[in-house]
Structure 1
């Protein structure tokens, strides 16, 4: 088991639900309550694993935009589990199936949803783990319409990373990679290494990963990258070279620098979450280079389907990205690792 893998205590008894609650920034507690009951159109899921990401750290630190979090909150938007019960109107054959589910509670009826752009829903923001109870718990309920079923043999540890994989699948859709193109991925964290796997499946002529942490180069190459470069070397050797640049780092300068890496008429997709004050994109360069720039926040239903399909086919293997696993009782250790400077820290999981 990876570092931090001592799960400490067994899962709570049936009928009891432990939940990790962030009551307000910097304050959390583990509570016990009754088992959630799935309402009409819902399923009850027993959580197998839940990923801890920078968005969770932002919630804990109080740095997430107030419009996108509601305290007190049970975090956990990256997760996998098994359906144990269904509510009224839900097919009972779902019971026992391994699953993941979309986080956005899209309305399904607005113009954007009807066009398939569920991540752009205008019906109001609601998302599992931010405004709705998430998966840092033994159990959770989610709308059955958001469920994506997995194969019976699926690795639920790895499947917990299908939420960030869906974000990358949305970026790949937006970027439209074609065989034989030169592609760069900026950032070699979880999103970046998932991007390498999906983009490698598109048969690029070159797939370059750019990250200041040279230790990330080897896993990037194992996943299909042809080379890895630190930012300075990339700017010197590859400026204006790439047909497609997928930015995943969210660092203060990476939106602007990613545009400089793209060739004239190239495409840039931004997936990183940028903080206020990040370096802006030069409008003169943008205009003269005729770049196509897209941004991604979350994932549509179709992108989720792409990620789950790639996972089932073996084109996407998130398991090697997992470096630490903790029980709910050790949340404070897990959250401390996320956003730290240790390049050996990859994906951190909570295992209820």
Structure 2
């Protein structure tokens, strides 16, 4: 018997018993070890996620790790027993972006595990085997559940291409910010500054690789080669652009709550900045993140603060939105 956490409509959920699905051709059945919560899961439950990016009823859960329990025909039987994470975007595989390795930008439309397809807030998850990434034997599956946000940050890091000896700043010291610090620190920057209004995040930021921790307004504008914005808070995108030197690179990952928030076009043009954004992660970004995890460059275990059973979904959602929490995991084995 298997269970799935079904959200039939915004504001309601139920644990539904079901038989584990049988993998079809090219598919794999994964026994879920852990699944992380993020702001988009709260949007999904609250009904505030844009209509084009949600489909009800839905089993949420797009950040996950697990073990391959079975595979169908045309999938490699050697994968059974492997420790895995997996991509979420179901691209059409024939449009230009899909052929270029970006199913997250598929022209056929948005289709993602946990939002339009059943996700990992369940005992089992069924998906195409081609979307799986195999981890090193003995990998920490709790920590591996953070590889989905890490893959998104890997996309950013690959875009900004921080070089040894350059300076960088990360605006926001939440989970995404800490993952960014870990990956950027591997490039040996001369200076790596974490910026966040919450002073209590300073020690964790230094452990993640920052050379300094500053509050907003304390860093000199126009001085960093690379700036990555990860907060999605009012004014953070503008701050990231303002911190970047002339000819520098800036990446914006957060979606601000206030749609009127504006990035300064004047600063972008007069400083000749290269502006990058990201929506999800492609296969190459996932491969980058998995290699960084297997090698120890990515150390996400320290970012986990709470682990709860599936039945405590609402409590987990509340915790994930609190200022004191880091990454909150749902673990089916705790029920």
Offset of residue 131 of structure 1: 0.3
Determine helix, strand or coil for the equivalent of 1:231. coil
Task: Confirm or deny that 1:295 pairs with 2:297.
Answer: no
Determine helix, strand or coil for the equivalent of 1:280. coil
Task: Confirm or deny that 1:22 pairs with 2:7.
Answer: yes
**Quick one: distance in 1 between partners of 2:193 and 2:113?**
34
**Quick one: distance in 1 between partners of 2:43 and 2:207?**
31
Task: Confirm or deny that 1:110 pairs with 2:120.
Answer: no
Task: Confirm or deny that 1:175 pairs with 2:175.
Answer: no
Count of paired positions: 332
Deviations 1:121-161 (A, max 9, x none): 11221100000000000001011110000111100000000
Partner of 2:178: 193
Output the aligned Cα RMSD: 0.9
Q: 2:223 aligns with which of 231, 241, 251?
A: 241
Partner of 2:72: 87
Offset of residue 228 of structure 1: 0.7
Task: Confirm or deny that 1:348 pairs with 2:333.
Answer: no
How does 1:157-306 map onto structure 2 within 5 Å?
157-234=142-219, 238-306=220-288
Q: 1:126 aligns with which of 93, 97, 111?
A: 111
Deviations 1:209-256 (A, max 9, x none): 00111111101101110001111223xxx2111000011001121111
Offset of residue 42 of structure 1: 0.5
Q: 1:314 aligns with which of 283, 292, 296?
A: 296
Determine helix, strand or coil for the equivalent of 2:98. helix
Partner of 1:36: 21
Offset of residue 118 of structure 1: 2.5
Q: 1:27 to 1:43 in 2, by over 3 A?
A: same
Determine helix, strand or coil for the equivalent of 2:57. coil
Determine helix, strand or coil for the equivalent of 1:76. coil
Check conservation: 1:251, 1:278, Cα contact below 8 A: no
Offset of residue 278 of structure 1: 4.1
Task: Confirm or deny that 1:48 pairs with 2:33.
Answer: yes
Check conservation: 1:270, 1:294, Cα contact below 8 A: yes
TM-score (norm 1): 0.93
**Quick one: distance in 2 between partners of 1:188 and 1:276?**
20
Check conservation: 1:253, 1:278, Cα contact below 8 A: no
Offset of residue 276 of structure 1: 4.7
**Quick one: distance in 1 between partners of 2:48 and 2:160?**
29
Partner of 1:64: 49
Partner of 1:6: none
Structure 1 regions of 5+ residues with no counterpart? 1-15
**Quick one: distance in 1 between partners of 2:28 and 2:102?**
24
Q: 1:205 to 1:278 in 2, by over 3 A?
A: farther
**Quick one: distance in 2 between partners of 1:19 and 1:247?**
35
TM-score (norm 2): 0.97
**Quick one: distance in 1 between partners of 2:151 and 2:311?**
28
Partner of 1:9: none
**Quick one: distance in 1 between partners of 2:326 and 2:82?**
28
Structure 2 regions of 5+ residues with no counterpart? none
Partner of 1:4: none
Partner of 1:13: none
Of the structure 1 ranges 319-328 and 267-276, higher mean CA displacement relative to structure 2 is found in 267-276
How does 1:1-12 map onto structure 2 within 5 Å?
none
Deviations 1:84-113 (A, max 9, x none): 100111111110000000011112221111
Of the structure 1 ranges 113-122 and 90-99, higher mean CA displacement relative to structure 2 is found in 113-122
